[in-house]
């Protein structure tokens, strides 16, 4: 590890700790040349599949886009950030478990709808109405009836 103060490449690990949620490792290091201490973080690197759009374009998966979709659908709804984070984590775990190099955007949309249906019925209907681009009121009514059933 390169010292951020003097650039020397030899450092010594003084202390290692797991983060509170065990998602990463925090290490306190000391430079063997200038004796200054600094902190480094080690996180696992995961690669999500590329997203294939309806028109055939491929884009990198972005959690921020997924979070924005949830935020839009859940606007002014009583759903906590923790619940949204958990839903996104479940989706990302499923994506990683697929083991695919590419995933169609339609599959992501369906995953979002499943999670929204569990979180908030109104948000689910909001998202589905835009995502499925209903041609008439009857399709919308069918969706609302589906959600209303016990």
Among 1, 84, 127, 101, smallest CA distance to 47 is for 101
- Counting every residue written for the chain, the total comes to 150
What tens digit of pLDDT does each residue of 74-100 get?
Answer: 999 999 999 999 999 999 999 999 889
* Domain that includes residue 33, residue range: 11-42
104 within some domain: yes
In a shared domain, residues 24 and 75:
no
pLDDT of residue 70 exceeding 90, the answer is: yes
Q: Are residues 141 and 122 in the same domain?
A: yes
State the pLDDT at residue 10: 95
Give dist(CA 79, CA 136) in Å, integer. 29
User: Does residue 28 fall inside a structural domain?
Assistant: yes
pTM above 0.85, yes or no: no
138/147 Cα distance (integer angstroms): 14
Q: What is the pLDDT of residues 104-115, one digit of tens each?
A: 999 999 999 999
Total domain count for the chain? 2
Residue-level pLDDT at 105:
93
pLDDT number for residue 5 = 95
Say which residue, 149 or 55, is predicted with more confidence.
55
Residue 135 shares a structural domain with residue 83? yes
């Amino acid at each position: 590890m390169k010292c951020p103060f003097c650039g020397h490449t030899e450092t010594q690990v003084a202390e290692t700790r797991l983060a509170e949620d065990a998602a990463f490792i925090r290490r306190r290091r000391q430079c063997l040349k200038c004796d200054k201490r600094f902190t480094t973080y080690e996180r696992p690197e995961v690669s999500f599949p590329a997203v294939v759009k309806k028109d055939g374009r491929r884009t990198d998966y972005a959690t921020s886009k997924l979070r924005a979709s949830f935020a839009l659908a859940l606007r002014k709804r009583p759903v906590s950030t923790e619940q949204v984070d958990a839903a996104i984590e479940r989706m990302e775990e499923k994506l990683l478990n697929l083991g695919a190099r590419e995933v169609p955007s339609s599959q992501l949309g369906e995953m979002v709808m499943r999670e929204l249906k569990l979180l908030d019925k109104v948000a689910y209907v909001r998202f589905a109405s835009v995502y499925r681009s209903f041609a008439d009121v009857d399709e919308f009514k069918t969706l609302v009836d589906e959600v209303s059933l016990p």
